Structure 1
Amino acid sequence: MMEFTDFDAALADWNELRTLTPYSGLLMGNGASLAVWKHFAYDSLFELAQTTRNKPLSPTELALFKAMETHNFEPVLSGLKTAIRVNAALTISSSSPRNRYFAIKEALIHGVRSVHIPWRLMEQKTLLAISQALSQYSTVYSTNYDLLAYWAAMHGQERFDDLFGADATFNLHHTNASATRLLYLHGGMHLVKNFDASARKLLSSESTLLGSFAVNALDDVPLFVCEGSSDEKLKVIRGSDYLSFCHTQLARHEGALCIFGHALGKQDRHLVDAICRAQPKHIALSILPRSESFIQHQKRHYSALFAQLDVELKFFNAKTHPLGSSGFSVPVDRLKV
């Protein structure tokens, strides 16, 4: 069990930490995406879908989310897809489920595209730097559903294995043991859920992948967990073979773990529980050096989360990690160019 002490505001340099301890795993949160694109700083995709200029969620669609007691899009879209099939089997002519399906996905598409960095603004040097940073680990666990990590992995394909086979389906029989495993704990924009709950990857080039997500096809239910409490997220995770596998892998992680850009708030309790089950001996956590009081608060927060573990916690300056480089940041005003 860890002992609580008075925390100072000192932060280690990541480059020094990694020379002392080999970190085999990286848990990557939204802070890594924010280092590239400030528009990723939104609080809720569900709220974005209600306020987007183009075809926002209507009261009728919102009633479906309320009835299913969720703010996640995947279970609502999957439920509507099931209703469409049931209607067809029973020769029920109602078009309401189909219309609601396309309307909800349309709002989701516009909400995501309103905050996602366009491909044309991504510089090759940034993708290469992110790719190199991720490839330093045996396994990368990402909770981000944006396309940054996927774009970076496509930039250095030989160094990564996302466990999707040549046919773009989740496949554990043809893995590359020498490559960095890239696991999306909460899914991603490039992943869709099939009717049988299996996962499939959208096959597109980097430049067209964001556009592929925007195709409002009936068969492509987006597979990502973006809202709700930890219990609600875990419920969605258990409904997918791929997400369940990724979550289990985090709970079985062996070796030291680096956590970058992740607040690990109440809604992420399932992640903390998984890490505690893995029982790592070393955890390094990134903290932005905003102020002394902020650093001390973050140290207390993380220490409380892992108080039950016999673990050595190290706190480092996020800006000293390759993923926190200020050189990654793309000015938002470039959208006008």
Structure 2
Amino acid sequence: MEHKIMSFEEAIKDSSIYKKRHLLTGNGFSIACRSDIFRYDTLYNQANFTKLNPNIKKVFQALNTKDFEVVMKNLIGSAKILEIYFPSEKTLIDQLNKDADDLKNVLVEAIASSHPEMPSEILDSEYECCRYFLSHFQNIYTLNYDLLLYWTTMHFQETKTLNADDGFRTPDEGKREYVSWDIEKTDGQNIFYLHGALHLFDTGSELQKYTWVNTGIRLIEQIRNALNFNSFPLFVSEGTSIEKESKIMHSNYLSRGIRSFAKIGGCLFIYGHSLADNDKHILNLIGKNKVEKLYISIYGKITDSNNESIIKIAEKIGVIRKDIRVPQLAFYDASSARVWK
């Protein structure tokens, strides 16, 4: 089936017939802002492998990849296969699972260490482009871990020119160094970090969001200080979709986001996501929810192998409802969205 590539503005105009318009962002959202920071090869070069089993770096080389999730997926998969073929090799099985866990923590540290230091490093013109892009959507779901979306919402907090509510509030006990999330106070929430984020920390008794306004300390500095004390943010980067889904279901905050995404209707725009199999738990929900039309961003020529793969996966999304295949599919040029510039 041949597909026409729309511009972003054409897609927005085309989608105006739907009552609600939602957004799902992948890593391309952050790469579009700072391509030299948020690509996996950059994170790989920033990562500190010295504290890891030296074999882990060899696995990257053997698989010819710099994608952390690909390596984690293979480590976990290898452990599961060994449990079947060589169940007596418990030491090796435990080591593979530990290596996958350790690699996840190194990924968190790599993102934090390479992240822009301050919101002011993003230009006002970039924030304004992002505000315009985000302003088209009722609900915003993101798979990104970094602070760019949060910084953007905070940039327009005083002017209230961007409708943004991530559900975090001042704790009942009064002002603290952080704000917290309470499911009973999330009626207005329209921003959901489906895989967690650098600035969200689960203490066991509550989910906290680090803030600058209550401390005067830069967010990225607070996050790095927490990592130095082996306190890690709420972060879903398990190698497989099944592993990710399991982690999500054990968090009230994350499962709340998934339930919200599962119920959306109208149309959904996807920006900066390759529809990769390791996020199948998210993609499956699109075929089951009430979304009527799906608009997917495409980088470069539609005939590029990566884009052909995206289109094939997209064509499989959906279920048969009364002999009509939904959601309908449309593709738009990612660069025309001008998310940051």
Could you tell me the TM-score, scaled by structure 2's length? 0.72
The residue identity in structure 2 corresponding to 1:285 is I
| Aligned counterpart in structure 2 of residue 216 of structure 1, from 218, 226, 246 | 226
Structure 1 residue 187 displacement after superposition: 0.5
Aligned residue-pair number: 282
Within a 5 Å distance, the mapping from 1:1-337 to structure 2 comes to 5=1, 7-8=2-3, 10-22=4-16, 23-38=20-35, 39-42=37-40, 51-52=47-48, 56-59=50-53, 66=95, 68=97, 71-72=100-101, 107=106, 110-119=109-118, 120-157=120-157, 158=160, 159-167=163-171, 168-175=179-186, 177=188, 181-196=190-205, 198-205=206-213, 208-216=218-226, 220-290=231-301, 292-294=303-305, 295-306=307-318, 309-323=325-339, 327=341
* Matched-pair contact (CA < 8 Å) for 2:168–2:181: yes
CA deviation map 1:137-196 (0-9, x unaligned): 11000000011001001112242110111231112444474xx71100000001001124
Alpha-carbon distance, 1:57 to partner:
2.6
Unpaired runs of 5+ in structure 1? 77-103, 328-337
The code of the aligned residue for 1:137 comes to: F
Question: Is contact 2:53-2:99 (8 Å) kept?
Answer: no
Contact 2:287 2:318 in 1 (8 A): yes
Kindly indicate whether the alpha-carbon contact (under 8 Å) linking 2:262 and 2:285 is maintained by their aligned counterparts in 1: yes
Identify the residue that residue 100 of structure 1 maps to in structure 2. Answer: none
Letter in 2 for 1:16: E
The alignment-based identity, stated in percent, is 25
Q: Give the superposition deviation at 1:11.
A: 0.7
Say if 1:229 and 1:315 are closer, same or farther in 2 by CA, change over 3 A.
same
Equivalent residue of 1:223, what SS?
coil
Following TM superposition, by how much is the alpha carbon of 1:253 offset from its aligned partner in structure 2, in angstroms? Answer: 1.0
Q: Runs in 1 of length 4+ with deviation above 6 angstroms?
A: 62-65
Partner SS state of residue 268, structure 2: strand
CA shift at 1:113, angstroms?
3.2
Amino acid corresponding to residue 42 of structure 1 in structure 2 = Y
User: What is the RMSD computed on CA atoms of the aligned residues?
Assistant: 3.1
Stretches of structure 2 that go unaligned for 5 or more consecutive residues are 57-91, 172-178
**Structure 1 counterpart of 2:112, one-letter code:** R
With over 3 angstroms needed to count, the CA separation of the structure-2 counterparts of 1:242 and 1:275, relative to structure 1, is same
Structure 2 distance, partners of 1:164, 1:265, is 30
Are the structure 2 counterparts of residues 69 and 237 from structure 1 closer, same or farther at C-alpha, using a change threshold of 3 Å? farther
Question: How far apart in 2 are the matches of 1:144 and 1:30?
Answer: 6
Q: CA 1:237 to 1:72, structure 2 compared with 1: closer, same or farther past 3 Å?
A: farther
- Cα distance in 1 between the residues matched to 2:38 and 2:313: 23
Change (3 A) 1:255 1:70: farther
- SS at structure 2 position matched to 1:153: helix
Change (3 A) 1:37 1:66: farther
Whether contact under 8 Å (2:15, 2:21) holds in the other structure is: no
SS of 1:224 mapped into structure 2: coil
